[in-house]
Amino acid sequence: MPRTKPEKGWRHKVHEVIYEADTPMGKWFDILLFILIIISVLLVMLESVKWIDATYHRSLFVFEWIITILFTIEYIARIVTIKKPWKYIFSFYGIIDFLSTIPLYLSYILVGSQVFLAVRALRLLRIFRILKLVRFLGEASQLRKALKDSRAKITVFLFAVFIIAVIMGTLMYYIEGEQAGFTSIPTSIYWTIVTLTTVGYGDIAPITPQGQLIATMIMLLGYGIIAVPTGIVTAEMGKQVKSNKDADDDQFVHVNTQACTTCAKEGHRDDAKYCYNCGSEL
Amino acid sequence: MPRTKPEKGWRHKVHEVIYEADTPMGKWFDILLFILIIISVLLVMLESVKWIDATYHRSLFVFEWIITILFTIEYIARIVTIKKPWKYIFSFYGIIDFLSTIPLYLSYILVGSQVFLAVRALRLLRIFRILKLVRFLGEASQLRKALKDSRAKITVFLFAVFIIAVIMGTLMYYIEGEQAGFTSIPTSIYWTIVTLTTVGYGDIAPITPQGQLIATMIMLLGYGIIAVPTGIVTAEMGKQVKSNKDADDDQFVHVNTQACTTCAKEGHRDDAKYCYNCGSEL
Amino acid sequence: MPRTKPEKGWRHKVHEVIYEADTPMGKWFDILLFILIIISVLLVMLESVKWIDATYHRSLFVFEWIITILFTIEYIARIVTIKKPWKYIFSFYGIIDFLSTIPLYLSYILVGSQVFLAVRALRLLRIFRILKLVRFLGEASQLRKALKDSRAKITVFLFAVFIIAVIMGTLMYYIEGEQAGFTSIPTSIYWTIVTLTTVGYGDIAPITPQGQLIATMIMLLGYGIIAVPTGIVTAEMGKQVKSNKDADDDQFVHVNTQACTTCAKEGHRDDAKYCYNCGSEL
Amino acid sequence: MPRTKPEKGWRHKVHEVIYEADTPMGKWFDILLFILIIISVLLVMLESVKWIDATYHRSLFVFEWIITILFTIEYIARIVTIKKPWKYIFSFYGIIDFLSTIPLYLSYILVGSQVFLAVRALRLLRIFRILKLVRFLGEASQLRKALKDSRAKITVFLFAVFIIAVIMGTLMYYIEGEQAGFTSIPTSIYWTIVTLTTVGYGDIAPITPQGQLIATMIMLLGYGIIAVPTGIVTAEMGKQVKSNKDADDDQFVHVNTQACTTCAKEGHRDDAKYCYNCGSEL
């Protein structure tokens, strides 16, 4: 996107780097941020491994502080450079960013606040922002479209699976009883889903002939109905492949990942001068 | 459906609320009933969890009685307001409704009658009546149609799977013997289906090299032939997607969930004046 | 098939009943035989269950003898009424029939000959002869055709899977070693196939981090490449659905299950007067 | 390929036998080599089985030496008869060939070098060279093409699966903790992938109700999204089936497996006189 207005202030410049990815600086910022996120996730992982934590506790702690400070700077920069900060703060990514930054500070006040470190893994979802930049954009959006179009069918399917699980789980609880591990109906429903989805841990397994007979039926059912979501998605994809051939990309306009400085909406056309959502100049 | 005949008695009005879902009252009744069903199923679940039953036994017992009384009223209302009660009583839903209501009464006469509480889970199937009202109608009926059209093929497939399981199960019984858990041919067949459907509990597993070799073949077979039901359903769905495009809904007439007061048949056209099944006025 | 030549001998008549299924008698014979086969398989199953064998040993023994005698009569009748007995005796079904009949006689000479009883399960395959008679004929042959057309692709696929299993299995043997259950390379390959096909018994499971990493890759591979046989069969079926629509059955000639009295070939046209294989009169 | 120039030296003749498969000698060489490879892999397998190694150690050792010497001769011949040996030595197959030959020699210097024997299994990949010669060529290349075309989509999919695994694994670590086997986040991620791919070993399984609830969601997710790779590959194959029908093979030129003596490139047209890659005479 051509940007020829030099009168824009430093906030605007920083905004462009942080929120957008269509300038070289913005691209680099996104990639660097993603590497930081990966390191932060790896840190949480390594800390969870007993012997690594025991041996390198000090180094991990230092790295943890570096990451936390960098994340804090990024978080403040994001708030400062956007015109409507609340939009960002209460957005999905805003909350994740906050929860990823806070644990270390909290650990001095609250014990057990390190549980929030798990939230950091969610920051990995930013990869999809970066993927937008590269050739996977089209592929990812095709997948998303196929999944979106088949959402209603898949909801009906999951509903049916869940009702089957409740009915069969209740039945198995009365047939098998506690000695086989079916200690309660919720546990029994858990087992039914483990069986229906063909996962089959084996931590709970039927031992009576009747229980094994019903288990067999649940398995065959699960083995058979996996065809349903597969059929749904495949049919959608087949349709898409066809319509893609028809369209051959000509009705699409290339959009970029630039976000409006006012309302933070993304997906503007490359030649857009004003935000399609709030009308403010880009 | 326009209903402008005020001369109809209270029975007819109650019938309309209970059996139909195309009036606001009927809709609310169905939704309320479904919430009651969910609560009743949750009660059965909670009672099965040891510590919850121990702590809240009294409250659960009271709720159980409230649910039972409400179900009793509903059951009586259903019988009273229909012209041919036996049609309802011996219908699939009629029997489920009866078995869902009776256990608490029976528990004073028969010990162990609480097993019938499991039947309540079947009442969850009423959800499909409610789904009819909303946008999932089309999706669900498409799924049902695809499954129905591929029923014959899937029957042949399940038959083949079952014969393979019997043959392989018998073979494995003689190869592995009791020390590996293959205690009898039925158990061995159970194991074969566990393996063929890729569930794989691991409660029984081959230990001899020959047994492991045959197990490997069964697995590869199961891994390969899962393609068959998937292929069947996908082909059917692909066909349907195509025919849907061709038809574009124009040969369909909208039907509603109103049930005939005489014969309880559903699926009348919106503009129907007489039951298509028994000819009595709607 | 019209049969108006009364001069044919008793052998021919018996042949028609035993080998063919297009006369009422032949149909009844096939159905009766299948019921007998099911009973014979059930007998073998029941004998394998300890407590049933202990309680009803005598009755099972008597039934076993009845079945054996009936099978013997059938076997002799099949040999006597066919013109070229060796064709039958050394055919697939001929050998199965023989091995299903012999065990009880052998048990007086050889100990352990009851292992051959397992062969009886193979007689269940006769169901496909009976299915030919009914509406599943078309469905079954469609399935068979789809599988046959995709045979070459599936062979290549299974070959690739097998090579992956050998490579990964060998690797895992050196990584995990004996303490995790990877006692030898064949066992390790067995584990790899258990994992790749997503069966996952859990009798053997990696315990080292490197082993778990490779296991993860094998799982994702298995999870991903299951798409391949599915894609193959689905594409074949989609093709078939299409060509079926094109053809609409008009290039097919109805064939029956009548077997030639000379060469035992089946699948003659309904209006056939001579065997298409050996030319002898039917 | 007609070869009528007798002035070519012995190197060229040997090259033709070793590197190419379009002469009778070349074909035989490839088949013989593959049998040798299978024997070499079987040897490694048998050595890993305790009791076989204990009983037949001497014979296995002798066979191992025979194989090693034959492989050594082949390796030297490959280097000598190619014009640019480094091309071969540092090619994928060159490295595998070297690592498959060296272990026995190394075992006199280095202890534990037998780990390299595992590399031999990779030599099995040569089967795909031989398959090129037969009718599976077309099938294999169709499969490869379908997988190649759907590579980008499958990468996006695996990426999404991996991020889900990291997020869910981290969550489960904090929910379940050590007593259930979730000893660290990496282990927890391993468990998530075991569950998501429906493998389900059961070596680690959730025991708390919350953990089981989330496990249930992971299973349903895994059960549902398996539709995605299947849909991708099926759509690609469907496309291919269609385009195959359109093309009917007429734009393809038959290529052979002859390798250029200078640059070792394969896939020349049957009527090629010069290498399409380096221009040297074939």
- CATH of residue D154: 1.10.287.70
User: D210 touching C, CB under 8 A?
Assistant: no
How many separate helices (H) and strands (E) can be counted in chain C? 13, 0
Provide mean pLDDT across the span C221-242.
Answer: 78
> Looking at the predicted structure, is the pLDDT value of residue C3 above 50?
no
Q: How far is CA D254 from the centre of its chain?
A: 24
Domain end: C132, C160, C195, which one? Answer: C132
**B37 and B86, same domain (yes or no):** yes
CATH (domain of C106): 1.20.120.350
- A55 and A85 co-located in one domain: yes
Distant-in-sequence, close-in-space partners of D141: CB < 8 Å, separation ≥ 6 = none
- A131 with A34: CB under 8 angstroms? no
Q: Are residues A179 and A230 in the same domain?
A: yes
Residue C201, chain B, CB below 8 Å: the answer is yes
- Hey, are the CB atoms on D118 and C201 less than 8 Å from each other? no
Angle between helices D10-19 and D24-48 (to 10 degrees): 60
Answer whether A198 touches C (CB < 8 Å): yes
Q: How many domains, in total, are found in chain A?
A: 2
Distance from CA of D201 to the nearest CA of B (A): 8
pLDDT at C270: 52
- A109 and A144 share one domain: no
Nearest-5° angle of CA D202, CA D205, CA D208? Answer: 160
User: A201 and A194 in contact (C-beta within 8 Å)?
Assistant: yes
Q: Which chains touch C (3 or more CB pairs under 8 A)?
A: A, B, D
Instruction: For residue A82, give the amino acid letter.
Output: I
Residue for token pair 């790295």: A63
Tell me, rounded to whole angstroms, the distance of Cα A133 from its chain centroid. 18
Q: Out of B202, B223, B239, whose CB is closest to C201?
A: B202
Contact A40, A71 (CB under 8 A): yes
Q: Write the DSSP symbol of residue B147.
A: H
Task: Please report the pLDDT score of residue B219 as a whole number.
Answer: 92
Share of chain D above pLDDT 90, in %: 14
Is the ipTM here above 0.95?
no
- B touches which chains (3+ CB pairs under 8 A)? A, C, D
Give the 3-state secondary structure of residue C255.
strand
pLDDT above 50 (res C1): no
A186 touches chain B (CB under 8 A): yes
Of C163, C223, C228, the CB nearest to D127: C163
* B30 and B81, same domain (yes or no): yes
Confidence of residue B244 (pLDDT cuts 50, 70, 90): low
The whole-angstrom separation of Cα C199 and Cα B192 is 11
Q: Judge if D119 and D143 occupy the same domain.
A: no
Rg (CA), chain A: 25
Whether C1 is in a domain gets the answer: no
- Chain D residue numbers with beta carbons less than 8 Å from the beta carbon of A219 are none
Residue D158 lies in a domain: yes
pLDDT at A195: 93
Q: How far apart are CA D104 and CA D113, in angstroms?
A: 8
- φ, ψ for residue D150, nearest 5 deg: -100, 10
The answer, yes or no, to whether residue D105 has pLDDT greater than 90, is no
Q: Point out the residue among B50, B199, B234 whose CB comes nearest to the CB of A195.
A: B199
Interchain CB contact of A154 with D (< 8 Å): yes
**pLDDT more than 70, % of chain C:** 74
The model's pLDDT over C51-100, given as tens digits with 9 standing for 90+, comes to: 888 899 899 989 989 999 999 999 999 898 888 888 888 888 888 888 88
Q: Are B3 and B270 in contact (CB under 8 A)?
A: no
Burial A232-258 (b: 16+ CB within 10 A, else e): bbbbbbbbbbbeeeeeeeeeeeeebbb
Please identify, among C132, C152, C181, the residue that sits at the C-terminal boundary of a domain: C132
Token couple for B213 = 């070799």
B224 inside 8 A of chain C by CB: yes
CB atoms within 10 A of CB C9: 9
C76, part of any domain: yes
Whether the CB of C230 is below 8 Å from some CB of chain A: the reply is yes
B152 and B193 in a single domain? The answer is yes
User: Six-digit token pair at A236?
Assistant: 């959608």
C191-195, long-range: CB < 8 A, 24+ apart = C192/C164, C192/C165, C192/C168, C192/C218, C193/B216, C193/B219, C193/B220, C193/C161, C193/C165, C194/B200, C194/B215, C194/B216, C194/B219, C195/C219, C195/C222, C195/D199
Query: pLDDT tens, B17-63?
Result: 887 767 788 888 888 888 898 898 898 888 888 888 889 989 998 99
CA Rg value for chain D: 25
Q: Which of D114, D47, D103, D109 is nearest to D71 (CA)?
A: D103
Identify whether residues A137 and A124 lie together within a single domain: no
Say whether residue A241 is in contact with chain D using an 8 A CB cutoff: yes
Q: Which of C200, C230, C234 sits opposite A200 (nearest CB)?
A: C200
Is B203 close to A201, i.e. CB distance below 8 A? no
Q: What is the pLDDT of residue C194?
A: 93
The verdict on a CB contact (< 8 Å) between A235 and B234 is yes
CB pairs under 8 A between A and B: 134
Question: Does D128 lie in the same domain as D138?
Answer: no
> What's the first-to-final CA gap in chain C, in angstroms?
10
Asked if the C-beta of A39 comes within 8 angstroms of chain D's C-beta atoms, the answer is no
Are B114 and B164 part of one and the same domain?
no
Give the pLDDT score at B70. 93
Q: Does any domain span residue D212?
A: yes
Task: Round to whole Å and give the CA distance between D148 and D153.
Answer: 10
Q: Are B139 and A152 spatial neighbours (Cβ–Cβ below 8 Å)? A: yes
DSSP per-residue codes, B84-126 = SHHHHHTSHHHHHHHHHHSHHHHTTTSTTGGGGGGGHHHHGGG
Nearest to D25 by CA among D38, D33, D16: D16
Looking at the DSSP bridge assignments, the partners of residue C281 are C274
Residues D52 and D92 reside in one and the same domain = yes
Q: Looking at residue D247, what is its pLDDT?
A: 44
Residue B260: inside a domain: no
The Cα–Cα gap between C191 and C180 comes to 11
Number of other residues whose CB lies within 10 A of the CB of residue D135 = 9
- Report the distance separating Cα B129 and Cα B37, nearest Å: 13
Name, in order, each residue with C-beta under 8 angstroms of C117's C-beta and a sequence gap of 6 or more.
C44, C100, C103
Distance in angstroms (rounded) separating the CA atoms of residues A270 and A253: 8
What does the DSSP assignment read for chain A?
A: -----TT--HHHHHHHHHH--SSHHHHHHHHHHHHHHHHHHHHHHHHHSHHHHHHHHHHHHHHHHHHHHHHHHHHHHHHHHSSSHHHHHTSHHHHHHHHHHSHHHHTTTSTTGGGGGGGHHHHGGGHHHHHTTSTHHHHHHHHHHHHHHTHHHHHHHHHHHHHHHHHHHHHHHHHH-GGGT--SHHHHHHHHHHHHTT----SS---SHHHHHHHHHHHHHHHHHTHHHHHHHHHHHHHHHHHHHHHTTTT---B-----TTT-----BTT-SB-TTT--B-
C200 touches chain D (CB under 8 A): yes
- Does the pLDDT value for residue D230 go beyond 50? yes
Is residue B271 assigned to a domain?
no
Which of helix, strand or coil describes residue D139? helix
D-chain residue closest to A121, CA distance: D167
Question: Which pTM was predicted?
Answer: 0.80
**Alpha carbons B201 and B203: distance in angstroms, whole number:** 6
B154 near C CB under 8 A: no
| Within a domain: A271 | no
Whether B202 has its CB under 8 Å from any CB of chain D: the answer is yes
The Cα diameter of chain D in Å comes to: 81
CB contact under 8 A, C234 and B230: yes
**Chain B residue with minimum CA distance to D198:** B199
Which of A34, A41, A42, A48 should one mutate to test binding to chain D, selecting the residue with the greatest count of D CBs within 10 A? A48
SS3 content of chain D, % helix, strand, coil (to 5): 70, 0, 30
Can you tell me which residue has the tokens 């590399």?
Answer: D119
Rounded Cα–Cα distance for residues D260 and D82 (Å): 9
- By Cβ distance, the residue of D183, D219, D230 closest to A234 is D230
Say yes or no for a CB contact (<8 Å) between B185 and C45: yes
Block means of pLDDT (10 residues each) for chain A, 282 residues, are: 55 80 80 88 88 90 91 90 86 85 81 72 74 56 74 78 88 86 91 92 89 92 84 76 49 49 56 56 60
**Position D243 confidence tier, pLDDT thresholds 50, 70, 90:** low
Same-domain check for residues B170 and B229 = yes
Band of residue D233 on the pLDDT scale cut at 50, 70, 90: confident
Query: Which of the four pLDDT bands, split at 50, 70 and 90, describes residue C188?
Result: very high
Say which residue, B136 or B204, is predicted with more confidence: B204
pLDDT in tens, C114-133: 677 777 888 887 776 666 54
Q: Which of B149, B68, B160 minimizes the C-alpha distance to B107? A: B68
Does residue A201 sit at the D interface (CB-CB below 8 Å)? yes
For residue C211, give its domain range. 133-254
Rounded CA-CA distance D17/D27 in Å is 8
In a domain, A281, yes or no: no
Q: Which amino acid is at D63?
A: F
C220 close to D161: Cβ distance less than 8 angstroms: yes
Chosen domain end from A101, A132, A163: A132
Of C41, C48, C136, the CB nearest to B173: C48
Say if CB B254 and CB B270 are below 8 A apart.
yes
DSSP designation for D110: S
Looking at chain B, the whole-number percentage of residues with pLDDT higher than 70 is: 74
Using alpha carbons only, give the angle A32, A38, A44 rounded to the nearest 5 degrees: 140
**Chain C residues near residue D158 by CB distance under 8 angstroms:** 220, 224
- Given a contact cutoff of 8 angstroms between Cβ atoms, the answer to whether C229 and C154 are in contact is yes
